[in-house]
Chains A and B, each alone.
Chain A
Amino acid sequence: MFNHPTVPSSMRRFLLTLMALALVAAACGSDDASSSSEGDTSTDTAAETESEAEEPEPADADGEDTVEEEAMEETEAVTITLVTHDSFAVSEGILQTFTDETGISVELLSAGDAGEVVSRAVLSAGQPEGDVMFGIDNTFLQRGLDADLFVPHQSAALSDVPDELELDPEYRVTPIDVSDVCVNYWTDALPGDAPTSLDDLIDPANAASFVTENPESSSPGFAFLLATIVRYGEDGWEDYWQQLVDGGMSVTSGWSEAYYGEFIAGGGERALVTSYASSPPAEKIFADPPVDAPPTGVLEDSCFRQIEFAGILAGTEHPAEAGQLIDFMLSETFQADIPLNMFVYPANETVALPPEFVEFGPLTANPITMDPADIEAGRLDWTERWTNIVLR
């Protein structure tokens, strides 16, 4: 009975299968460790190719070896790491342009949303995960500055950037892109005329049709709260929110649940939602079926300006190369690529926008803004008070 013939053979079969699987996995794993074997080049990612394409000959070693080999061949070759959030996207070949121009390769590293990236950087301050951070915005900026995350770098390309975007006089961070968080509406489903001011939003018909996001768990939600605080002041904003609540406003935890869950876009019933100035262009570009004009519009009076910055991470071994990357991020090549990849607007004002952005989603001329230091000073108090009004 113990030497039942099928027992060992079935085990052998199983072990063989496991070993085969392990081999496949190992082979795949080494692909993922950023080697590009011949068979894999066709399916390689844009970014992988970019990050390695400094190699003139077909690559067959894995990434680290390549770096060492290159270091021996030409002493200047350096790879720097750009730490960013999950929404970072860039067209194929753009970073390659930078590598061609400078000989510096760029690796991308992302971990979560902008808030998570900032928390990670603060926790590991001094021992950064990379050389440059992109994606810290004006609502989190003060935190990054307080934690001494960045070393100064004054880019020559800043001459093409409007002064009001340069929030740090010490040049520890460089503005790369701009966007507006605005109330959007579904044009055909509004209860009445399209609202034209924040005041119109508390009209009970509009409030009942409005969905926004929890400022503690959503970046547009927080921006909208800041907009109301600027507009109605320390003494008035709570009253404004009370009227929204009384009118039947809804709050979700995140943007997706608001936009796709409760807003009409995803089959919901609400006609007003806190989103971005670039949402109507996206509704046009990713429409199904194609449309001539987006079904949504923007309440310009509600728009709060968000600016995303890049900075050289303190602790990097390559501050000069990191600075070159930041200069490149302000160049026309990179800036013109921004809108259709990340749905934000280039900080460099000489760069032309795609037609959909010009026609359906221009930035507001007079957005609501707040000083990053004031945002940081008020953050915890405001959101606690907000929670008491809206969620309790």
Chain B
Amino acid sequence: MMPRAVSSVVRVVTVLVPALFLGALVVWPLLSVFSRSLRGVDGARVLEILTRSSTRSVLTFTVTQALLSALLTLLVGLPIAHALARYDFKGRGVVRALVVVPFVLPTVVVAAALDAVFTRMALDLDRSLAAILAAHVFFNVAIVVRIVGGFWATLDRRDIEAAQVLGATPFRAFRLVALPVLLPIVLGAGLLVFLFSFTSFGVILILGGPARATLETEIHRYAIFRQEFDVAAVLAMVQLAIVVLLSVGSARFQRRFVNTGRGVARRRTVRPDTWGRRAHLTVVIALACVVIGVPIGALIESSLRTGGGYGLTHYRALLEPLPLLPVTAAEALMRSLRFGLAAAVLASIIGVIAAYGVVRGGRAGRVLEAISLVPLGVSAVTLGFGYLLAFTALDLRRSPWLIPVAHAVVGLPFVLASVVPALRAIDDRLHEAAAVLGARPSRISRLIDWPLIRRAVVTGSGFAFAISLGEFGATAFLSRSPSAFTAPLAIFRLLSQPGAALRGQALALSVVIGATVACLAAVLERLRGEEAVLL
């Protein structure tokens, strides 16, 4: 489809650039921390750690809860994704923007909000698996709704209609025509949710209570309280092995479904104008409201509660300096937004290059894809310590740039998860036709690929932004100067002292972060622009 020489240069570049990025920011730090932690440790010790009965039970619980979280999130998220893709209704943008909010809220705050909801609904979920699952669904439903939904919206319905004309039942038409296109992306989104739940830390400790342990909480306990770095490293390697296995398995599965083109086109939405459609939409919106709306509502309510009733006192206080914080909460939020912007831009640039590498890079591309998922699936403390040890020589570990760059590393898999399927779904015949007509490769990607993946890039970079804003995972373990003091850190600091006013401000700041990300999601929605029309 491209002149061979050009195509091989492109292939090398699209693999090499992301490989250098991931090599420096994932592989090298992990190698550093593993080699330091396992210094002088022999195979027998490793075997002893691996075969402990506690290791086995922790591993079982970790995988079980992550699997259940992923399945439940898909169960809740897919109907919402489908309805948002199918129906054109007022408030569609609002729902799409709101689902992202949980993603940026600090765990402590969400746990408190969920707790309040459970109490009010008289549900005794205290420290149950159900509470953990509910929190994971709340946090992660955005992944399914936005990544799968974004793709679903561009699914070509004409093939389904053609199948139906030829006599297939709607279900059979869906199974034979739409499912093979959707399945890889559903699996990709499910994998991301699994990994998020797999390395979930705050939810397990707070909602699960001190008696529950996952690999993530155990690694933290061994690395910090017990300072048995070798045990922490072995457990982190177990995490790593699982991430790599899953990633390879899912890539293999996805390739089986690689669909030659015809996957992307403008999806015609319908207005919910019949009783059936209206009922369907109502049920789905109600589901979204219960899962996302109720906890957010509880959070907003408690942020408005002041000593003398309700009011904006805590919100106004965010602008005032407070001895506990190096900057005002409002300034911390501005820092967060800058970091988020830098992380989103970097993640989308590297992500698009890497997506080509994954799709066209053969075996190297598959390795790239697996490595890109590692930061999501390996414990935050491990990667954080990795940065500490890997960047000693260059003294990069204190660079304020490391923070948005590390955010971009965590955001990268989201760009890949939305862009790779979009690239795969592009009909190769388009490329061939353009090449035959004499178009250069750069012109081909600009004219054919770009319009088709643009939405996916925006979706993915939106997640990178949200991850940065929420200071997910390892990034919380980077050392930083007060000039890198961000809003989530301000919330933790406020919640580390007694005092009703401080707690109120922490909740208010959480609401402001959530509102900011919702507004930005709405703006991005516009940037995604009109859907691509092709063929």
Contacts and interface: CB of A to CB of B under 8 A. Distances in A.
A123 B484 CA distance: 23
Interface string B100-116: 00000000100110011
Given A28-B342, A89-B325, A115-B224, A107 B481 contact: yes
Contacts of B485: 45
Given A11-B450, A111-B384, 11 more contacts: A1-B535, A2-B434, A32-B335, A48-B483, A110-B481, A222-B225, A253-B210, A261-B206, A283-B499, A288-B307, A296-B498
A251 B326 contact: no
Contacts of B499: 282-283, 285-288
B302 to A, nearest CB: 8
A127 to B, nearest CB: 5
Contacts of A11: 446, 450-451, 454
A28 B399 CA distance: 14
27 contacts: A2-B439, A10-B529, A14-B454, A21-B344, A24-B338, A32-B400, A48-B482, A48-B483, A86-B496, A87-B493, A89-B323, A89-B325, A89-B493, A109-B481, A110-B479, A111-B480, A119-B385, A123-B389, A251-B209, A252-B209, A252-B210, A253-B205, A257-B111, A260-B495, A265-B500, A282-B497, A287-B499
Contact of B225 (A3, A21, A129, A216): A216
A123 B323 contact: no
Question: How many A residues touch the partner, as a band?
Answer: 35 or more
A260 B530 CA distance: 47
Nearest to A254: B205
A51 interface: yes
A58 interface: no
B392 A127 contact: yes
Interface in B435-460: 437, 439, 446-448, 450-451, 454
Interface in A259-273: 259-261, 265-267
A83 interface: yes
A256 B496 contact: yes
Contacts, number: 235
Of all A-B residue pairs in the complex, the 8 with the closest CB atoms, nearest first, are A286-B499, A289-B307, A47-B482, A111-B479, A28-B338, A25-B342, A253-B205, A214-B210
A123 B227 CA distance: 10
A288 B108 contact: no
Q: Binding site of A, secondary structure by majority: helix, strand, loop or mixed?
A: helix
A124 B221 CA distance: 19
B348 A18 contact: yes
Interface string A271-300: 000010001001101111100000010000
A286 to B, nearest CB: 2
Contact of B481 (A34, A119, A253): A34
Interface string B492-527: 110111111111100000000000000000000001
B436 to A, nearest CB: 12
B392 A124 contact: yes
B480 A109 contact: yes
B226 interface: yes
Interface in B195-214: 205-206, 209-211
A283 B501 CA distance: 9
A253 B206 contact: yes
B38 to A, nearest CB: 12
A290 to B, nearest CB: 8
Contacts of B98: none
Contacts of B401: 29, 32-33
